[in-house]
Structure 1
């Protein structure tokens, strides 16, 4: 049986961060990755000269971001593309009323102020909410307090429904009242025209990473851990003083992955209140641009926007006219078995309400994270009954030898690459037993 210092399960950003920092301080580390590539849910594809980030796309706020610092150090080119927190304004947004006509500036501004008024009220309503309340519960109270007529209230209500879906890929009634507490962005947001996967590629340099090694069991005890690996040709076991498991919440919940003995209540309880979402990207590339110049996003209100309501203009990334929309929450589950043609037809029916005569797309790409056995969704969300501390509590050290890391284990900014990196840094420090500067990820020791 092979014996090492630390085994890391998963070669996403969290796992690579942990391994790189521990190796920099002299440990022998092996990273086991089920996929045939590194990056996890950071996944870039390159076809026909196009670069498409199917997984993570943004740094959501570059201010004081270690991901932004690492990207700069690695020479990764960025383009500013600030999406904020599904904002109602602040960027050039072409807003369309339920009848398909574009709202004038005054109507768009009035609607944005209605959203902001509810958001201001939500701060107190959420703070006073009970543990069994959903985001629907608190938003309904905040809306009701305004005393608006039914139509005005409905426009804001559907905006908040869409916000829950786009931010966390879940229906508003299934999200905890505190589920969007982290929904803050500090500084500009940026995307990567050359692909986000260059970040994990740099982090992986010099590490012992074993691809297509599917971990099925992690056995922990007082003296360390044994990790059972299903490789491409056989089954083997690695023994280590410690293990850092960075697989997504969906895998932790699955029968295909066993932790033995079972997780203690301090960790199992928060895990039980977190779930993987349903959130897919739909990229549509067109022969010509049919929407207005200078538009950052297109949004439609009303019942027609139940599935498809928001499109984001990605043309600035490579010059090809491109719109991005999301199948999120109920829509992601409803369209899960649809063909690419069926999805494209459905999306285009809504675009053509707003832009009659819009051409067919020349290329359509749709993600499939719900069906990925190594993620089982895009990222984690707080179910009703969850509390904010569940994220950090999920990372509670287990017997001083087993640690969980990943985007779901970081309270301040879950569901992001930043959370993955920060959680990996924390895990490395806990295994090491001392402070490790996170800057060691991208800089050489002096």
Structure 2
């Protein structure tokens, strides 16, 4: 017999510690797990890959850090949610642009452009065409204001050039214009005929310009993962809500039960219906998943035994179409390592994934050797496959033509005991690392508030 009850004293039952399963080990899931763990919740983080980071992937194959996924901090300022963590870890950034860079990761002065035959484009032409492109984009605002129905940025540019034939470019200048469009497409990881005119310039870009993480993003991933119960190689196949609990089924047949779950898998995975939900997600949630766009951008990193290229941040290739344009990021200038990273976005990124890694590396080397006939062959190379990787199925989200304005809120909204994070739910900072990080923190707070209200307060651990 319970002695306290026998003596007439009612035992105070301590509320159980709330439990949460975080699905997805990218920076959003790690931020959420970190916040819930610090709030004394019982947290398990499930990651389908054999590594953490998700679409952040710092590769050390070359003997130095190379980010094959996210590379930049967009908004080098104290207002950036990642600023305290970056400062506490003493991580260095290499700034590649000033405050006025909305569409590009680099300032104009850091470019050297070449044509398809390897001839250098005069810098005066690069500057002049860049100014014309800015005027064209400014004129697209008038096109947007004059049309109630949304259209693509590509269509709007065509209308502007019909209205203002003096802005048309010919010959080499036309190819430089295509390169600027290529760089714009890289910002969204989608082609210009897919990007919404209504939304393309509505993103809130933090001040401070853009900065490369010199040591890569891996130190941040490692810091966030400290003391978290991480389960790698745990691919989630089904999430069920039963009797105020969440049951998460793993591919190997195991199941885990918790009071709530926080879903931070990439939008491409949700679009691919790789996770079954029971009950099924409501139509408004399914519509958000379906209608928000997911772009693709891939990298081909090349390690050399010597530096044979100029000391600029970006080497560009101009061409008759934006699809055929390209550019190399010079990591040697930023990190001191003899590495060039070729970047491809949109349909071109999709097409590159159809070929072998060897073919992709040879393809970009052909372009490099036209620019620099004395170029040496790479010692090693790395190729990303974000579009076909079943754990991502794309790179990051963008606003396609005709997208409704409330879809981000619907994607972010909880459904029962399920909460959602990730870069795609960050309405003002989608596609960015800090947006993904902040969305994880916010989802964790919403989950915490929900569970405390439902389960009552509990005794928190002392830290």
* Structure-2-length-normalised TM-score: 0.85
Whole-angstrom distance in 1 between the partners of 2:435 and 2:265: 14
- RMSD over aligned Cα atoms: 2.8
User: Given the superposition, is the C-alpha separation of residues 361 and 308 from structure 1 closer, same or farther in structure 2, using an over 3 Å criterion?
Assistant: farther
Aligned to 2:277: 259
Whole-angstrom distance in 2 between the partners of 1:404 and 1:82: 32
Is 1:407–1:419's contact at 8 Å kept on the other side of the alignment? Answer: yes
Q: Residue 141 of structure 2: SS of its match in structure 1?
A: helix
User: Given the superposition, is the C-alpha separation of residues 87 and 397 from structure 1 closer, same or farther in structure 2, using an over 3 Å criterion?
Assistant: closer
Matched, 1:199 2:231: no
* 1:152-188 residue CA offsets vs partner (Å, 9 max, x unmatched): 8844752454134311222221222224532735213
Matched, 1:215 2:236: yes
Matched, 1:351 2:371: no
Matched, 1:371 2:388: yes
User: Given the superposition, is the C-alpha separation of residues 129 and 367 from structure 1 closer, same or farther in structure 2, using an over 3 Å criterion?
Assistant: farther
Is 2:175–2:321's contact at 8 Å kept on the other side of the alignment? Answer: no
* 1:231-280 residue CA offsets vs partner (Å, 9 max, x unmatched): 4xxx2222222211000111112243111222212222121112432211
2:92 maps to which of 64, 68, 77: 77
Shifted more, 6-15 versus 182-191: the winner is 182-191
Q: Residue 73 of structure 1: SS of its match in structure 2?
A: helix
Is 1:4–1:238's contact at 8 Å kept on the other side of the alignment? Answer: no
What is the Cα deviation at residue 221 of structure 1?
A: 5.2
Matched, 1:281 2:295: no
* Structure-1-length-normalised TM-score: 0.88
User: Given the superposition, is the C-alpha separation of residues 404 and 361 from structure 1 closer, same or farther in structure 2, using an over 3 Å criterion?
Assistant: same
Whole-angstrom distance in 1 between the partners of 2:154 and 2:342: 23
What is the Cα deviation at residue 380 of structure 1?
A: 2.2
Q: How does 1:35-50 map to 2 (within 5 A)?
A: 35-50=49-64
Is 1:388–1:411's contact at 8 Å kept on the other side of the alignment? Answer: no
Structure 1 spans left out of the alignment, 5+ residues: 435-444
Whole-angstrom distance in 1 between the partners of 2:423 and 2:350: 22
Is 1:39–1:200's contact at 8 Å kept on the other side of the alignment? Answer: yes
What is the Cα deviation at residue 18 of structure 1?
A: 1.1
Aligned to 2:143: 125
Whole-angstrom distance in 1 between the partners of 2:109 and 2:410: 37
Is 2:50–2:232's contact at 8 Å kept on the other side of the alignment? Answer: yes
Aligned to 1:30: 44
Matched, 1:103 2:112: no
Is 1:22–1:29's contact at 8 Å kept on the other side of the alignment? Answer: yes
Aligned to 1:15: 29
2:435 maps to which of 419, 433, 442: 419
2:195 maps to which of 168, 171, 175: 175
Is 1:131–1:384's contact at 8 Å kept on the other side of the alignment? Answer: no
Aligned to 2:459: none
Aligned to 1:397: 414
What is the Cα deviation at residue 3 of structure 1?
A: 9.7
Matched, 1:92 2:110: yes
Shifted more, 122-131 versus 335-344: the winner is 122-131
Aligned to 1:440: none
Shifted more, 312-321 versus 87-96: the winner is 87-96
Whole-angstrom distance in 1 between the partners of 2:406 and 2:176: 29
Matched, 1:430 2:450: no
Q: Residue 289 of structure 1: SS of its match in structure 2?
A: coil
User: Given the superposition, is the C-alpha separation of residues 344 and 353 from structure 1 closer, same or farther in structure 2, using an over 3 Å criterion?
Assistant: same
- Whichever of the two has the greater Rg, that structure is 2
Q: How does 1:234-383 map to 2 (within 5 A)?
A: 235-293=253-311, 295-303=312-320, 306-383=323-400
Structure 2 spans left out of the alignment, 5+ residues: 1-15, 451-461
Whole-angstrom distance in 1 between the partners of 2:135 and 2:122: 20
Whole-angstrom distance in 2 between the partners of 1:129 and 1:349: 44
1:162 maps to which of 161, 182, 205: 182
User: Given the superposition, is the C-alpha separation of residues 109 and 253 from structure 1 closer, same or farther in structure 2, using an over 3 Å criterion?
Assistant: closer
Is 1:175–1:383's contact at 8 Å kept on the other side of the alignment? Answer: yes
Is 1:216–1:258's contact at 8 Å kept on the other side of the alignment? Answer: yes
Whole-angstrom distance in 2 between the partners of 1:286 and 1:271: 42
Whole-angstrom distance in 1 between the partners of 2:287 and 2:257: 27
